[in-house]
Amino acid sequence: MTGSEVRAAVEWLASVAPDPAACRWEWERNPQGIALLPAGRRWDVLILPRELGCPTFDVLTRLIDRPGPVLSDFGDGRMGFFVPPGTVARWFGTGVRGVGLGTWILVPYPGRASGGVRWLIPPDGSGTLTDATLLELAMHEAAATARGGRRGGGRGGDEGGWWGAGG
């Protein structure tokens, strides 16, 4: 990421914080480089387990050039896809955890891996999100492929605790 892309991503993410200046300060000075941000304002996050997340990510990145932001823990035990706000309230998938209005998520500084969480696709600062319908289609294709005997990516590892907390 270029410096201007990082600044745009930081501003976009920090805009949801109760105190955006404190959020930016935390990112810059916290040795872990993470901030706790509320979901449900500009984005929700759908958290997929490794068995579904890795192949879904592969399918999604084949379907479109630039999906919305995607987080992963370092073991790829879970992947978080940033989707439009309100998606979690309407989501009826099993095995998928939703982080939406009233919940919070640990988010690393854009362009850096830290605190056990990394960006697979960092935010671009413009508000680009993954369309929930497209994500669902990618999940179906990934699941069908897995049932057919081929399993996509993913490595074992720590399950992590970044995926969200109730508020």
Please give the structure tokens belonging to residue 16: 């949801």
Q: How far apart are CA 163 and CA 167, in angstroms?
A: 13
Q: How far apart are CA 165 and CA 95, in angstroms?
A: 17
Q: What is the pTM (predicted TM-score) of this model?
A: 0.85
Residues 136-152 pLDDT 10s? 999 999 988 877 654 44
Residue 161 pLDDT class (50, 70, 90 cuts): very low
- Does 109 have pLDDT greater than 50? yes
Handedness of CA 29, 30, 33, 37 (dihedral sign): negative
Pairing of strands 117-121, 97-99: unpaired
